[in-house]
Amino acid sequence: MNVVFPGSFDPITSGHMDVLTRASKMFDHVTMTVMHNARKQGRYLFTLEERLQILRDATAHLPNVSVDSFGGLLVDYMAQEQKGIIIRGLRAVSDYEYELQIAHLNRQIGEVETVFIMAATRWSFVSSSMVREIASYGGDISEMVPRASASALKLKFADVYAEREASRSS
Ligand code: PNS
């Protein structure tokens, strides 16, 4: 069975990786699809191409995982790709209410099923937005994201990391 794991992935975190690894063992093929809203372009830290490259690097070791992007409704993408199952990760009960609403709406408008996979509890506090926040101050995000995301974040905030490093060694 082939499934789709959609998200903003701005950038992909260790929690996403945990859910992806579990999904890749359960299903024949997993497509990681970066859902890109051109009207929200300014709200993303990474460009679409940067997010795709990070995803390709972070998932290179998983042979049954591929990377794609789409700029519209998820159900339209599912229909276009002839796929019927969406994978979403759950970290805590607080995720569930939001995800439940989206899953029901997607089934109503697109007849697609959503399968939830629970991320390991050690990732329950990790989100892309928190990782972006910590990195923007030059904080240590190395445990919270795969290496490809960490490198990209350190490059994006190179000035902040260099300043922090300099003030530490002085
Ligand atoms: O990583 P995120 O930001 O939690 O992912 C949310 C995402 C991108 C999967 C969701 O917002 C989405 O599917 N967006 C595409 C537009 C869409 O289909 N919206 C209707 C959902 S009811």
Query: What pLDDT score was predicted for residue 118?
Result: 96
For the chain, where are the E strands, in sequence order? 2-7, 29-35, 65-70, 85-90, 113-118
Query: What pLDDT score was predicted for residue 160?
Result: 94
| Reported CATH class of domain 2-123 | alpha beta
Is the predicted pLDDT of residue 28 greater than 80, yes or no?
yes
Is the predicted pLDDT of residue 31 greater than 90, yes or no?
yes
Q: Whose CA is nearest to atom 20 of ligand 1?
A: 73
Query: What pLDDT score was predicted for residue 50?
Result: 98
With 0-12 / 13-18 / 19 or more C-beta atoms within 10 angstroms meaning exposed / middle / buried, residue 125 is exposed
- Please, what is the end-to-end C-alpha distance for the chain in angstroms? 56
If you average pLDDT over residues 81-87, what whole number do you get? 98
Is the predicted pLDDT of residue 74 greater than 80, yes or no?
yes
CA–CA gap between residue 157 and residue 88 (Å, rounded): 29
Instruction: Encode pLDDT of 98-118 as tens digits.
Output: 999 999 999 999 999 999 999
**CA angle (166 as vertex; 153, 11 as ends), nearest 5:** 5
If you average pLDDT over residues 29-44, what whole number do you get? 91
What positions carry a catalytic annotation?
A: 16, 40, 91, 128
Query: What pLDDT score was predicted for residue 169?
Result: 81
Using pLDDT thresholds of 50, 70 and 90, give the confidence band for residue 80.
very high
Is the predicted pLDDT of residue 66 greater than 90, yes or no?
yes
pTM for the whole thing?
A: 0.96
Binding site listing for ATP: 8-9, 16, 89-91, 99, 123-129
Using a 6 Å CB cutoff, which residues line ligand 1? 6-8, 35, 73-74, 102, 105-106
Q: Which two tokens stand for residue 49?
A: 């191409």
